[in-house]
């Protein structure tokens, strides 16, 4: 299988076809095997990567830095407050300058528009490392982890439970729909993904894929192969804490909730960081169905694959 992805940005995942995501996943499985074999590659030698962070990160930063650096590339971390992005200098001008100095750019921040401007004006691939609206590199790792667990994605059922309107839920819904995974979002009315976005996922989904949005834990969880949750309060929404606890406590992932799938092999995923005792209990995240550490590791292999194919 070959895909022409050179020069492409990765901003939302919605513009990637099933075949293109398949290429990324195959490259990620291969990159993981290569890493475990101990072979040394220098595929990013003499290349530079700018890492722009307006929000904090552990996994995304470490995945990009180590994936790029261990293959001979030079990642440059630029945290909030280090550069003039949007303050004193327009995002467009910063992008133009970065495009002259770097081979690719990763952006983590608030506005999706910033990632889009960076891509438009820099002329180099831009990777969305999380915005308020999307977290597409997370979804690649999620799909890879599901594939490792089940050997296939086709026809599996992924249930995301919790804040259904956040970046992780939206990207997961899009990625699963494209790749043939039935997806259910279980969330209270107030925290459902917006209708327009769900309708868009309906237009890009693989034939036969079912998308369901419900507030019912019982019907939503039935038949789940994957139960996925994320924090109740995303970065930048800290003032919503009280309201979220009130709305989402009935949606906490507990051992009892996991059993509602009716399947013994159901796995638990979480993008991390997790607030144990809030969106998920310790016995679930530490239990035998949890794949969260594989999932975190897979961030690195999928991100390496993304850079290998687009650079
Ligand atoms: N899952 C994820 O993006 O983690 P970080 O916020 O630590 O990068
Ligand atoms: N929804 C979370 C994801 C963190 C990786 C956030 O935006 O904070």
For residue 305, what are its two tokens? 């694959």
Quick check: is 138 catalytic? yes
Per-residue pLDDT, 104: 98
For residue 17 and ligand 1, the question of a CB distance below 6 A is answered with no
pLDDT at 178: 98
Q: Which atom of ligand 1 is nearest to the CA of 272?
A: 1
CA of 59 to the centre of ligand 1 (A): 5
Among protein residues, the one whose CA lies closest to atom 2 of ligand 2: 234
Pocket of ligand 2 (CB under 6 A): 130, 166-168, 230-231, 234-235, 271
User: Which residue's CA is the closest to the ligand 2 atom numbered 7?
Assistant: 234
The model's pTM = 0.98
Q: Is the dihedral of CA 36, 13, 3, 145 positive or negative?
A: positive
Helix (H, G, I), strand (E, B) or coil at 212: strand
Closest-lying ligand 2 atom to the alpha carbon of residue 167: 1
Whole-angstrom CA distances from 184 to 96, 197, 246 are 41, 14, 22
List the one residue out of 116, 176, 106, 169 whose CA is nearest residue 146.
Answer: 176
Task: Give dist(CA 126, CA 115) in Å, integer.
Answer: 7
Is 135 an annotated catalytic residue?
yes
Beta bridge partners of 185: 160, 213
List Cβ neighbours of 44 (8 Å cut-off, separation of 6 or more): 68, 71, 72, 73, 307, 311
pLDDT averages per 10-residue partition of the chain, 311 residues: 91 98 98 97 98 97 98 96 88 97 98 98 98 99 99 98 98 98 98 98 98 98 98 98 98 98 98 98 98 98 98 97
74 CA → ligand 1 middle, Å: 21
- Round to whole Å and give the CA distance between 235 and 210: 30
What pLDDT is stored for residue 2 in this prediction? 73
Check residue 220 and give its pLDDT: 98
Measured in angstroms, how far is the CA atom of residue 1 from the centroid of ligand 1?
A: 30
Whether the CB-CB separation of 76 and 53 falls below 8 Å is answered with no
Residue 142, token pair as written in the block? 């999620």
Ligand closest to 141 (CA) is 1
Tell me, yes or no, if 176 is annotated catalytic.
no
The token pair at 262 is 């009716």
């Amino acid at each position: 299988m070959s895909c022409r992805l050179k020069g492409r940005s990765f901003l939302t995942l919605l513009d990637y076809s099933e075949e293109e995501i398949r290429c990324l996943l195959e490259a990620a499985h291969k990159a993981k095997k290569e890493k475990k074999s101990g072979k040394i590659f220098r595929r990013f030698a003499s290349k530079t990567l700018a890492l722009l962070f307006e929000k904090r990160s552990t996994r995304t930063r470490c995945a990009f830095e180590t994936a790029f650096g261990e293959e001979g590339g030079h990642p440059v971390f630029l945290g909030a407050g280090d550069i003039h992005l949007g303050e004193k200098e327009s995002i467009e001008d910063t992008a133009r300058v970065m495009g002259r100095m770097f081979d690719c750019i990763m952006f983590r921040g608030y506005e999706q528009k910033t990632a889009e401007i960076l891509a438009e004006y820099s002329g180099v691939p831009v990777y969305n490392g999380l915005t308020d609206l999307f977290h597409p590199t997370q979804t690649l790792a999620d799909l890879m982890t599901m594939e490792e667990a089940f050997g296939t994605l086709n026809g599996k059922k992924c249930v995301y439970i919790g804040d259904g309107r956040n970046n992780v839920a939206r990207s997961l819904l899009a990625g699963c729909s494209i790749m043939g995974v039935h997806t259910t979002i279980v969330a209270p009315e107030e925290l459902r993904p917006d209708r327009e976005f769900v309708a868009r996922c309906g237009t890009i989904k693989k034939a036969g894929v079912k998308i369901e949005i419900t507030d019912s834990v019982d019907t939503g969880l039935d038949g789940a192969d994957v139960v996925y949750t994320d924090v109740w309060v995303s970065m930048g929404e800290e003032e919503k804490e009280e309201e979220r606890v009130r709305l989402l406590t009935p949606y906490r992932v507990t051992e009892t909730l996991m059993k509602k799938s009716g399947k013994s092999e159901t796995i638990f995923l979480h993008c991390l960081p997790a607030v144990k005792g809030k969106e998920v209990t310790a016995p679930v995240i530490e239990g035998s169905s949890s794949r969260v550490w594989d999932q975190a590791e897979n961030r690195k292999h999928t991100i390496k694959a993304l850079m290998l194919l687009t650079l």
